[in-house]
Amino acid sequence: MASADSPRVRAYRASLGRGLPPVRMGVIIQEMLSSELAGVCFTANPVTGTADEFLIELDPGRAEDVVSGRATPDSYLFDDQIGRITSARSGAPAGTESIQGPVVLLSSARRQAVTQVARCAVIVQTHFGSPQDMEFGIQGSSVYVFQTRPIVAGLTRIQGTRGND
């Protein structure tokens, strides 16, 4: 709060012609989440450009490990039109068999987690009106969205996006 009234900030505000009324500031105090699973969800497949195919990457622990590349997450393709996982790939070390095609080998808990993330992602995408790159964590039966931003890479390939169509 003190920095908002520093000489440097006062000079900047004066240069903009905003005068010097009292500065009000909101402060966010955010609880640290110890997530059981975390990852990223692209609400349009960034590889193929398919708008109704979500790419969801999950790993035990922190989303930062997935985002930074320190973890090799499990990857799932979720078809939003039919409401189910269409393929899955294990992020386990080389030599582990990938699960492809009909996804019958997934645990019900993992299938439920992916479906929960997809449902949450639909809400986020609808709210913002464009395909999203969403970071999330799962604790218990709740999905927590840490941040979301529009997908920009390869956006010209993405056809039929929901939202502001």
115 or 96: which carries more pLDDT confidence?
115
Q: How would you list the strands of the sheet with 53-60, edge to edge? A: 84-89, 74-79, 53-60, 37-42, 132-139, 142-150
Q: Which residue(s) pair with 37 in the sheet?
A: 60, 138
Q: Say which DSSP state 60 is in.
A: E
- Quickly state the pLDDT bin for 27 (edges 50, 70, 90): confident
Angle, alpha carbons 108-109-113 (nearest 5°): 115
Per-residue model confidence (pLDDT) at position 144 = 93
Q: What is the CATH number of domain 37-157?
A: 3.30.470.20
104 or 75: which carries more pLDDT confidence?
75
Burial degree of 106 (CB within 10 A; 0-12, 13-18, 19+): middle
Provide the terminal-to-terminal Cα distance of the chain, rounded to the nearest Å. 42
With beta carbons less than 8 A apart as the criterion, state whether 54 and 121 touch.
yes
Select from 28, 25, 44, 5 the least CA-distant residue to 132: 44
For the whole model, what pTM was predicted?
0.71
Ordered by start, the domain boundaries in the chain are: 37-157
